[in-house]
Amino acid sequence: MEQEKNMNTSAENTNQKPARKRMLSGIQPSGDLHLGNYLGPLRHWPEMIEEYDCYFFMADLHTLTVRQEPAALRRRVLTQVAQYIACGLDPEKCTIFIQSHVPAHAQLGWVLDCYTMFGELSRMTQFKDKASKHKDNINAGLFTYPALMAADILLYQPDYVPVGEDQRQHVEICRDIAERFNGIYGPVFRVPEAYIAKVGARIMSLNDPGSKMSKSNLEGCVTLADKPEDIMRKFKRAITDSDTERCVRYAPAEKPGVSNLIQIYAAATGKSYEDIEKEFEGMGYGKFKPAVGEAVVELLRPIREETERLLADKSYLESVYRAGAEKASYFANKTLAKVYKKVGLVAR
């Protein structure tokens, strides 16, 4: 009987599902989410929630490094919650929350400020970029934001942080801070890996193909909330190329404007670059640009309509971000308590 019992126990252990690895990501609500956000990370997040234990948050504390209009910031945060869901993030399968609703972010951020070196912060490219654009407001938060970003990540002990190749520096400094802290106090933090997605387009500005699509350049940026007529107008005005060839051909070095539009059209329709070149052979840019605009209109239409529906249901949205903050706080506070104990703070 004892042998049979042991065999049954072994079978039960074998049948148990292994714990899913954890992944965390956040986007600043400093402007409306746009096509580049969607075709880059957002479109692929719903696939991740089936494989990983995912936490997605609105990084509203980070927006404060640049002056914000309060009512507009609140609107963008709620819109972003709705857009996350509209893009396919099921709140029953992942944790969606607002950064400022979990005080542990700011609390751990201060502790990690004290374990982050001045030289490390000075080398951050985002600080240099924002400082050059906001010379009248080079504040301490703008300089030390990587420590808060490290806190955002390390509170949840994630295995992976999905970032674009140009954001890898943020994960690297987070790893440096975590390893420094662990070196002093023992294994407090799990040191996360950057998750560089193999899929996802790097969408450039419609009126400046040399720069990424950005919230700061509204005419070159298509937002998830844009009306169809606005999307069409932006694509009809999109920069193509000044070559004499004037054919639809994917050649990023020679034809960055057209290549960007081809990439967008391919992502919106699922067609290959080769098929797109054949489809518009001999037509020129006048036919191609409206076709890309129409494809994007149809791609974003269900997201815009579902976002509008969700924003009208304020009680549901509130239930989502309240439940998300409650779950996030549970894990965050466990990590924070461990950190406080290690550095010698008296327990409350």
> Could you confirm whether 271 is annotated as catalytic?
no
Q: From the candidates 21, 93, 128, 130, give the one annotated as an active-site residue.
A: 130
Structure confidence at residue 134 (pLDDT): 67
- Indicate the range of 12-26, 57-71, 190-204, 230-244 predicted with least confidence: 12-26
Is residue 212 part of the annotated active site? The answer reads: yes
Instruction: Clarify whether 314 is annotated catalytic.
Output: no
Structure-block tokens of residue 282:
């001999």
Encode pLDDT of 124-146 as tens digits: 877 777 767 767 778 888 899 99
Question: Which position among 215, 327, 334, 342 bears the catalytic label?
Answer: 215
Q: Do the beta carbons of residue 195 and residue 163 sit within 8 Å? A: yes
Question: Which of 3.40.605.10, 3.40.50.620, 3.60.10.10, 3.40.50.300 is the CATH number of 20-201+314-343?
Answer: 3.40.50.620
> Which one has a higher pLDDT value, 11 or 308?
308
Pick the catalytic residue from 212, 327, 334, 342: 212
CATH number of 226-311: 1.10.240.10
How far is the C-alpha of 145 from the C-alpha of 129, rounded, in Å?
13
Please, what is the average pLDDT of the chain?
89
pLDDT of residue 142: 87
Residue 164 DSSP SS3? coil
Tell me how far CA of residue 235 lies from CA of 207, 265, 286, in angstroms: 9, 11, 11
Give dist(CA 94, CA 169) in Å, integer: 26
Whole-model pTM: value is 0.86
C-alpha to C-alpha distance for 284 and 57, rounded to whole angstroms: 43
Strands 53-58 and 22-27: parallel
Task: State both tokens at 97.
Answer: 């929350």
Contact in structure between 61 and 200 (CB atoms under 8 Å): no
Per-domain residue ranges of the chain:
20-201+314-343, 226-311
Q: Above 90 in pLDDT, residue 76?
A: yes
